[in-house]
Structure 1
């Protein structure tokens, strides 16, 4: 794979750092410790707080500078200095067994009493160290802090297997994206009380790319009363692959998704779903050599995206066997059922709050039609849904254009 392709894919993937730009204003207060991660044998209720440590402090002026320097043009000026904390909390794995996960909570300094939560769900990353709770350079950390700078409580789960979470990440697994995000809310509530903050009932939910999907799923759980006393207050999804079966998977093969990018996403998706759904018994059934021998190891959470891209071909056709390509294109059996279940996030509930989706016409990671399909399905159930086109921008450009608007919209709840 050429360096040009590597740079292009690395720049457009929805990684935990939307951009590769360091946010130098973030100064690390503490580093991850082994003791934080080594708690999987401890039995405690879901959402129980295991540990909390400060990881960054930022003044309002530094927040404004970081937003401008990263490209979030038009973000409203911060009102508060903020402090970010990494939480370890109890949750469950794809089989319902106890495990732990990490995440970020950002509090506006000096505020006490009842505050509203803005929960941000991040996009695709295959690297544990890129998660917002551990990476000083994470733009996801910045987005979460921007909400806190408006006087909200910023909450950002790392999901399972990322950050300091044990094991591998179950990528695009709606069930655990929801449970990890819901349990993070419960842990954040416990943590906030220790700082004199009570979390209000209504939760503002937003997410980018993979997190766009996850935000709709979390919104569904909140709407159904499945997350303690919390309920859905607002829902805004950015460039999410909401319609896997009818839109995003076909686009991975018809040119809608850039071929090298599609190879990355499909490799991650296939290896992860093989653990949760079961897609093959031997990697050689799905992947051509030499990739069959290496692809699962690339997604163990320790490799940066650049190394993963360098270890993959520049198209799905070079990565997968012809027979498996056909299976990906024409799902059957439990694979089909799993896709249909995943796509129910747009079909089996009715949001009681206005929903806003954002897309970009030059997005070759998550095609713009995903938002239109999901919006149509939700409107058919009586939901109020608006799709905002950010114009001729790519995947990252969609987020850069959307989040200043979302921060402004959510600030009205502070």
Structure 2
């Protein structure tokens, strides 16, 4: 799930569904910009056609808006107020920008997505400066207005933390979130990767406009859903998806790397909080069905009355609390017995989806150093996911130590881990 919002910093609470609070004015602004992008008024019309035709446009910067600037003291306080555990004081003030850029949908059609670029203030308008890049991919969001590029909160604070230490911090919203149009293709590793790759391309162009030169080093991290996305992005960078940028380190936190072997079984055997498991399953089944039809009628997957309501909840317009209120308390109350059996014993298209997502740790051997982070009391993402990823990487000859955050829940694993990740990244780049 997403990190807690800046105004909801109970930190170790296990309440699973938190989203940043936004004013009505900001909500209206987001809706207006989303409509303008959808209507084609916020950017030039995009060409239609397969991905190979749209390829040259991928990663093109469409727009950039400065969201806020912070001096050193403000950047330090911003990170601490979220609840990160013992973060280093910022060394730089920071400037936070939202960019929109060209990318492709999960089916290869041209589209526009958004994200954050946060720069050390010394790097904004003060002559050329070479910076290493940190890419941060966020956790589960069902509400487009909760994305870091439009909402104040912990995902934005992660970028402030890294930029305050002297990195160029880049955080894609993924497809369909922030100012992206259409529903978010949740847990689709392909589109998470292309959106993240294209965000790095657009960010590099934007940074150049600000007098910043990317030095080619990219440290990749992500939380929860974003941890698996970070592995996918790291794999793409190692395969030279962005010429001139190279994977320098991988630090995913509490990710669902093994859906078939760890996360789905945990949803039904008590290792995950029932309401959290219900939310995740409703979201992922709905999203996957849009891309790879799993059923001809929602009643094949969802029990009454949820078959009539669940698909509409995940259209990007409903806050997490509203979605949770529309769901039952357990997966067994949500799903039909036959569909539960399909999840436990996948075949056909479902098995293919799971093999593709689960390959983020199994089908490559990172050349850059990897550390896996988690926490002992996580009831959102089963700890077995981390062990599965570690074992898979070891089988490919990669030593990926697990850095355990101690007795903290899912959100707590991020709040403890990110200051540690920052220290590790700084050591790798000799950035003091």
TM-score by length of 2: 0.88
Is 1:74 aligned to residue 86 of structure 2? yes
Q: Tell me the distance in 2 between the aligned counterparts of 1:119 and 1:274.
A: 29
Moved >4 Å (runs of 4+):
7-12
Counterparts in 2 of 1:106 and 1:8: CA distance versus 1, 3 Å: closer
Question: Retained in 2: the 8 A contact 1:256–1:367?
Answer: yes
Is 1:128 aligned to residue 137 of structure 2? no
Q: How many residues align?
A: 399
Q: CA deviation at 1:14?
A: 7.3
Is 1:325 aligned to residue 329 of structure 2? no
Alignment equivalent of 1:196, drawn from 211, 214, 223: 211
Gaps of 5+ in 1: 1-6
Q: Tell me the distance in 1 between the aligned counterparts of 2:233 and 2:276.
A: 26
Is 1:380 aligned to residue 380 of structure 2? no
SS at structure 2 position matched to 1:346: coil
Q: Quote the residue 2:406 is aligned against.
A: 391
Is 1:301 aligned to residue 290 of structure 2? no
Question: Retained in 2: the 8 A contact 1:212–1:239?
Answer: yes
Alignment equivalent of 2:421, drawn from 386, 406, 410: 406
Alignment of 1:14-413 (within 5 A): 32=30, 33=33, 34-36=35-37, 38-39=39-40, 41-43=45-47, 45-111=57-123, 112-136=128-152, 138-412=153-427, 413=429
Q: Tell me the distance in 2 between the aligned counterparts of 1:227 and 1:278.
A: 32
Gaps of 5+ in 2: 1-9, 48-53
TM-score by length of 1: 0.92
Q: Tell me the distance in 2 between the aligned counterparts of 1:323 and 1:144.
A: 43
SS at structure 2 position matched to 1:206: strand
Q: Tell me the distance in 2 between the aligned counterparts of 1:341 and 1:334.
A: 11
Question: Retained in 2: the 8 A contact 1:74–1:404?
Answer: yes
Counterparts in 2 of 1:250 and 1:9: CA distance versus 1, 3 Å: farther
> Deviations for 1:37-92, whole angstroms, at most 9, x for unmatched residues?
54484236000011001112122111211222221121111011111111110001
Q: Quote the residue 1:3 is aligned against.
A: none
> Deviations for 1:281-301, whole angstroms, at most 9, x for unmatched residues?
111111111111110110000
Counterparts in 2 of 1:331 and 1:8: CA distance versus 1, 3 Å: farther
Q: CA deviation at 1:231?
A: 1.3
SS at structure 1 position matched to 2:151: coil
Counterparts in 2 of 1:31 and 1:108: CA distance versus 1, 3 Å: farther
